[in-house]
Amino acid sequence: MPVQTKLMARRKRPLPLLENVEIIDAGAEGKAVARVDEKVLFVPFAAPGDVADVQVYKKKRHFLEGRITELKRASEFRVEPQCAHFGLCGGCKWQHIDYAYQKTFKQKQVKDSLDRIAKVTYPAIKEIIGAENIYFYRNKLEFTFSDRRWLTTLDPVAAEGEPLETRGLGFHLPGKFDKILDIDQCYLQKEPSNDIRLAIKAFAIEKNFSFYNAREQKGLLRNMIIRTSTTGDLMVVMIFGAENREAIEKIMGHLAEKFPQITSLMYVVNTKKNDSIYDLEVHLYKGKDHNLEVMQPARPDRKPLYFKVGPKSFYQTNPEQAQKLYQTAHDFAGFNGDELVYDLYTGTGTIALFIAPSVKKVVGIESVEEAVEDARKNAAENGIDNVEFHAGDMMKLLNEDFIAGHGVPDVLLVDPPRAGMHPKVIKQILQTAPEKIVYVSCNPSSQARDIALLDEKYRIEKVQPVDMFPQTHHVENVVLLVRK
């Protein structure tokens, strides 16, 4: 048999159906974990304690991936998911796990990262700070229009779904840029989010407006962003894939009439090949150009903080838990009022402004110029004058000249992206050697890697996980590092 024919035959060999597999743990990316023949088996939408038959759909040298075909014995951790789209939508992969156990597994994720990656000594991890609201907690969702919605099976190697000759408005299927799961009800954002989404879809179908086709890159209705706020403000941003003034006016007018509670109604025309709107003009159709968010100060003797959140602004998507996260970072630092604080990766300056009343001065550094502009505006709006913000690449800006010009910080507060800090930034931190580092992270693995590098001069004093995203595997973690 020719070599090519042999390879083709090998590829077509069916992958095994594994019977009575016991799920033993919660793993990366929200997938549960089992072990079969000394290999790790990842199973989405399973729960530790399940016993199930699992169809393997991916086989690699060191691991397998599979899906449950039959649940033989349900885990004690299992609950009935609320959302009808669970198992297809990739947004809330842990809805089937009781929330008390979700918190347990997230706490374990932090511990495993410190044990396996950081490999340093640390004190007992504080009990994770859970969320009071485990549904309807997000203040921002982005939906996508599609000229064909998709029915999919749970089998990733099946036909990948069959398109229906109808239009849809919802979320991208995991890993699929051109396939949209039509959403009836989403449990992530409070009303009138669902009502607005369903109403605009029905109106567009009634008027026969075209929905976007991601492959052909054409169609009028492309995306929709809905932002709610703790003050009751409501923002809707429509993104159109074509410049059709008459159609845009009808759609925006319909939204304004049907939902008078919208306080910020805007639209964007995006004819680019990607969905990003950060380089595009936002047109204000009705109302004000921002939502107003409020956060209680770290010190009860100070007035609340208010933040203007525009259509392109970043703001923590779970504001209730953000309050707890920032309070933890503030309390870990143990400020006495005389400190110079550097806030690295400051974003729009939210945490810098939160801690500012408790310290002498805060210097914020952020790579995104627009975010720094928002930070400066928010500082002015709140009458906070002991903060300053600088835009630039962290590796280049945070150097000896910058520190000489602004002073050696007593406390360093860092909240980097999921990838963590660049080794050059860590090297500069070690050279600067502030007394304390408060490290806030949305990725315990990259945080643990960075802590291992910082171990040269710092020891872990406190560890506090915070659950920002119930029904998902994501967890935030705050670590206090003190100079040895």
* Residues acting as catalytic residues: 442
Residue 98 lies in a domain: no
Kindly report the CATH number assigned to the domain that includes residue 407: 3.40.50.150
Distances (CA, A) of 457 to 119, 155, 176, 416: 15, 49, 44, 20
Q: In the predicted model, is pLDDT for residue 9 greater than 60?
A: no
CATH of the domain at 44: 2.40.50.140
Q: Please write the tens of the pLDDT for every residue from 334-352.
A: 999 999 999 999 999 999 9
CATH of the domain at 255: 2.40.50.1070
Q: Give yes or no: residues 193 and 285 share one domain.
A: yes
pLDDT in tens, 429-484: 999 999 999 999 999 999 999 999 999 999 999 999 999 999 999 999 999 999 99
Whether 236 has a pLDDT exceeding 70, the answer reads yes
288 and 149 fall within a common domain: yes
Cβ proximity of 85 and 33 under 8 Å: no
Residue 150 confidence class, pLDDT cut points 50, 70, 90? low
Residue 38, Ramachandran bin (φ over 0: left; ψ between -120 and 50: alpha; else beta):
left
Residue 98 pLDDT exceeds 90: yes
Give the residue numbers spanning the domain of 206. Answer: 140-292
**Are residues 24 and 46 in contact, defined by beta-carbon separation less than 8 angstroms?**
no
Binned at pLDDT 50, 70 and 90, residue 151 comes out as low
CB 24 within 8 A of CB 43: no
The last residue of a domain, from among 292, 307, 327: 292
Same domain membership, residue 340 and residue 230: no
Residues 247 and 285 grouped into a single domain? yes
Same domain, 338 and 392: yes
pLDDT at 104: 95
pLDDT value of residue 13: 73
The per-type count for the chain, helices as H runs and strands as E runs, is 11, 24
Residue keyed to tokens 């040895």: 484
Same domain assignment for residues 365 and 416? yes
Query: What residue type is 87 in one-letter code?
Result: G
**6 pLDDT band (50/70/90 cuts)?**
very low
290 pLDDT above the threshold of 80: yes
For residues 470 and 392, membership in a common domain is answered with: yes
Asked if 157 and 65 count as a contact pair (C-beta separation under 8 A), the reply is no
Measured in whole angstroms, the distance separating CA 16 from the mean position of its chain's CA atoms is: 35
For residue 164, pLDDT over 70 is answered with: no
**Do 360 and 444 fall within a single domain?**
yes
Mean pLDDT of 295-303: 86
57-66, 115-124, 465-474: which has the minimum mean pLDDT?
57-66
Q: Mean of the per-residue pLDDT values for the chain?
A: 91
CA distance 180 to 223: 11
Is residue 137 pLDDT above 90, yes or no?
yes
Q: In this predicted structure, what is the pLDDT of residue 149?
A: 65
Tell whether 94 is covered by a domain.
no
Segment 183-188 mean pLDDT:
94
95: in domain: no
Tally the residues of the chain: 484
Domain-terminating residue out of 257, 292, 327? 292
**pLDDT for position 157:** 41
pLDDT of residue 5: 45
Whether 285 and 332 map to the same domain: the answer is no
Question: Average pLDDT of 36-41?
Answer: 90
60 domain-assigned: yes
Q: pLDDT at position 8, please?
A: 46
Domain annotation covers residue 299:
no
371 domain-assigned: yes
What pLDDT, on a 0 to 100 scale, did the predictor assign at position 62? 87
Examine the domain organization and report whether 73 and 171 are in the same domain. no
Q: Would residue 445 count as lying in a domain?
A: yes
Of 175-189, 219-233, 350-364, 437-451, the least confident: 175-189
d(CA 314, CA 442) in angstroms, rounded, equals 15
- Total domains present in the chain: 3
Residue 298 lies in a domain: no
What pLDDT digit, counting tens, does each position of 74-84 carry?
999 999 999 99
Q: How far is CA 132 from CA 56, 94, 101, 229, 324, in A?
A: 37, 17, 15, 17, 11
Do 224 and 325 lie in a common domain? no
Do 121 and 69 share a structural domain? no
The stretch 111-123 carries a mean pLDDT of 96
Alpha helices in 264-316 (DSSP H): none
Q: What is the pLDDT of residues 202-219, one digit of tens each?
A: 999 999 999 999 889 999
Q: Which helix (H) or strand (E) holds 407?
A: none
**Domain ends where: 274, 292, 310?**
292
Q: With bands split at pLDDT 50, 70 and 90, how would you rate the model's confidence at 175?
A: confident
Long-range pairs for 245-254: beta carbons < 8 A, 24 or more residues apart: 247/207, 247/209, 247/220, 250/207, 251/200, 251/203, 251/204, 251/209, 251/221, 252/285, 252/286, 254/200, 254/203
Percent of the chain whose pLDDT exceeds 70: 94
pLDDT > 90: percent of the chain = 80
Walk across the sheet containing 264-269 and list its strands: 180-182, 168-172, 140-146, 221-228, 234-240, 264-269, 283-287
